[in-house]
Structure 1
Amino acid sequence: MLTTINEILRKARAGHYAVPAFDCTEDVMIRPILDTCQEMKSPVILMALEHDLKGKGFAYISSIVRGVTDHYDIPIALHLDHALEFDLIKEAIDYGFTSVMYDGSMLPFAENVANTKRVVELAHSHGVAVEAELGHVAGNELDGSVGAGKEMLTDENEVQDFVQKTNVDALAVSIGTAHGVYVSTPNLNIPRLKAINKLSTVPLVLHGGSGTPEDQVKDAIINGITKVNIYADLRIAMLAGVKKAIESQKRVDPLPNELFQPVKDAIRKAVMEKIDMCMSNNKV
C-alpha cells in the first residue's frame, strides 16, 4: 500500500528501528525489493534520483510503483532523492511521488531554510512529505567518488531552528557517512547524533548506508536514525548477479526470466541483509 514517509518514519522512531530506503530503477530492481520486503514484513521506501528520471523516467518509475503497491500488504513510499531544483520537485509531485527530498545542504543556512520552506509549502499543499538535509554528506552515488566535495557534520545547534522555520517532515544529518563505495571504513559520530536527536522533533535520516559497518548503523538507529539510504550495495549486488547470469547461460537466446533471475536473487539477498541491519523485519 502506498503511503508517505510521515506514517512510516514516525512509527519507526517510536519503535526504535529504521526503514530501508532503496534508490532503484526498472522492474528488475523494484520487484525483488518489494517481494523481499513483503516476505520479511518490512516497510520500505523506494527512491529515484534525477539521473534516472530523465526522458520518460518519471512516467516509467511512477507507473510501475503506483501500479503495483495495492498488491502488497506493506507500507511503501515513493520518494524523490536529492533534488536540487524546484521544478524537479514539482514534477515529482505531479507524477504522484509521496515524498520528496530537497537538498540545500551546500547552501548557507539561511538560503537552505528559505528554499526548503518553499518546497514544504508546495509539497504539503498536495499531501506530500518533505525531507531536507542539514550538514553535508560527501561523495557522489553516480560516479563513485567517495569523498568528493567537503563533508560538513550537522551542527546540533542549528537543528531546532531549521526544523521550526521550515516545517520539514524528516531531516537528513551528516555524522560521518559518505555516498558511494568507501575506500576506508567510516567512523560515525554517535555523540553528535545523540545531541541532534534530543533536539529534533522530526525523524532523522542517514545517507550513505551502503558499506557502513552494520554495528555502527545499528548504533545510529538506536540513537535516532529512522531511515537509511542504500544504493551502492544494490549496484554491487546487481553486478555480481549479471556476472553469474552470463556465466550460467548455455543458450544464445535465454528467456528473460532465466537471464534476470541471478540479478534478482542477488538483489534479494542484499535487501534481506539491509532489512536485518535496519531491524525493520516484522514491523508491519
Structure 2
Amino acid sequence: MLVTLNEILKKAREEHYAVPAFDCMEDVLIRTILDTAEEKKSPIILMVLEHDLVGKGIKYITSMIKGVAGEYKIPIALHLDHATNFEIIEKAIENGFTSVMYDGSMLPFDENVANTKKVVDMAKKKGVSVEAELGHVAGKEIDGTSAGETMLTDAEEVVKFVSLTGIDALAVSIGTAHGVYVSTPELKIDRLIEINKLSPVPLVLHGGSGTPLDQVQNAIKNGITKVNLYADLRIALMEGMKKAVEVQKRIDPLPDELFKPAKDILKNKILEKIDMVMSENRA
C-alpha cells in the first residue's frame, strides 16, 4: 500500500528503527525490493532520481509501482530523490509520488529555505511529504562527477530551517558520502545527538551504502529514521549480471533464468540492509 514519508517515519522515530530507502528504476530492482521487504514485513521507500523520469520515464515508473503497491501488505512510499528541477518535482507530485526531496544543500541558507518552501507549498496541496537537506553530503554523483565538499549540518540552524519551510523530514550531513567510499567514514554521532534534540521532524541519513554497520545502527539509535541506499545495490546488480553472462555461456536460458542470479544477489543485499536498519516486522 502506498503511504507518505510522513506516515512511515513518525513510527520509525518513536520506535528507534529506520526505514530502508532504495533508489530503483527498473522491474528487476523494484520487484526484488518489494518482494523481499514483504517477506521481512518491513516498510520500504522506493526512490527515483530526476534523470530516470525524463521523457516517458515518469509514466513507466509510476505505472509500475502504483499498479502493484496495492497488492503488498507493507507500507510503501514512492519518493523523488535529490531533485532540483521544479518542473520535474511538480510532475512527480501530479503523477502519484507520495514524497519528494528538494536538494538545496549547495545553496546559501536563505535560498535553500525559499526554494524548499516553494516545493512544500506545491506538495501540501496534494498531501505529499517533503524532505530537504541542510548541510551537504559529498562523494560522487551518479554520473561520476564530484558532489562537492562535505558541509556538516549546523544544529543551530535546524529549528529555523524546519520552521520556515514546513518540511516533513530533514537529511543531515554527519560524515557520510554518496557513492563508494575510498576510506572508512567516521560519523559525527555527537553532532547527530545535538541535531536530534532540536529537530521537530525525523532525520535522514544519505550515503548509507558502505557505511559500517555499527555506525549506522548507532546513528539510528540517536535519531536517524531513513537510510538512503543505492551504491550497494548497483554493485550487487553488476555481480548478478556477470553471473548471468556465465549462465548464458553454458545454456540458452529463459529470461527468468537469465535474471535469477541478479535477483538472488540483490535479494541478499536487501536482506542485509533491512537487518542493518532494524526494520523487520515493523510493517
| Gap regions ≥5 residues in structure 2 | none
Structure 1 position 144, deviation (Å): 4.2
Structure 1 position 30, deviation (Å): 0.3
SS of 1:2's equivalent in the other structure is coil
Q: Distance in 2 between matches of 1:137 and 1:36?
A: 28
SS of 1:184's equivalent in the other structure is coil
Structure 1 position 77, deviation (Å): 0.3
Decide whether the 8 Å contact of 2:141 with 2:147 is kept in 1.
no
SS of 2:77's equivalent in the other structure is strand
Q: Distance in 1 between matches of 2:158 and 2:103?
A: 15
Aligned residue identity for 1:188: L
The C-alpha deviation readout for 1:247-272, integer Å capped at 9, x for no partner, is 12356642110110111111111100
Q: Distance in 2 between matches of 1:58 and 1:66?
A: 12
Q: Match for residue 223 of structure 1?
A: 222
Q: Distance in 1 between matches of 2:197 and 2:172?
A: 13
SS of 1:9's equivalent in the other structure is helix
Q: Match for residue 257 of structure 2?
A: 258
Shift of the 197–19 alpha-carbon distance from structure 1 to 2, 3 Å rule, reads same
Shift of the 148–3 alpha-carbon distance from structure 1 to 2, 3 Å rule, reads closer
Q: Distance in 2 between matches of 1:107 and 1:141?
A: 17
| Gap regions ≥5 residues in structure 1 | none
Aligned residue identity for 2:14: A
Q: Match for residue 232 of structure 1?
A: 231
Q: Match for residue 98 of structure 1?
A: 98
Q: Distance in 2 between matches of 1:261 and 1:105?
A: 39
Q: Distance in 2 between matches of 1:143 and 1:83?
A: 15
Structure 1 residues 46-65: aligned runs within 5 Å: 46-65=46-65
Q: Match for residue 152 of structure 1?
A: 151
Structure 1 residues 182-261: aligned runs within 5 Å: 182-250=181-249, 253-261=252-260
Q: Distance in 1 between matches of 2:225 and 2:98?
A: 17
Structure 1 position 53, deviation (Å): 1.4
Q: Distance in 1 between matches of 2:276 and 2:169?
A: 20
Identity, % of aligned positions: 70
Equivalent residues, number: 283
TM-score normalised by structure 2 residue count: 0.98
Q: Match for residue 66 of structure 1?
A: 66
Q: Distance in 2 between matches of 1:144 and 1:192?
A: 29
Decide whether the 8 Å contact of 1:141 with 1:231 is kept in 2.
no
The C-alpha deviation readout for 1:31-61, integer Å capped at 9, x for no partner, is 0100000000000000000121122110111
SS of 1:41's equivalent in the other structure is coil
**1:282 aligned onto 2:254:** no
Decide whether the 8 Å contact of 2:138 with 2:177 is kept in 1.
yes
Structure 1 residues 26-41: aligned runs within 5 Å: 26-41=26-41
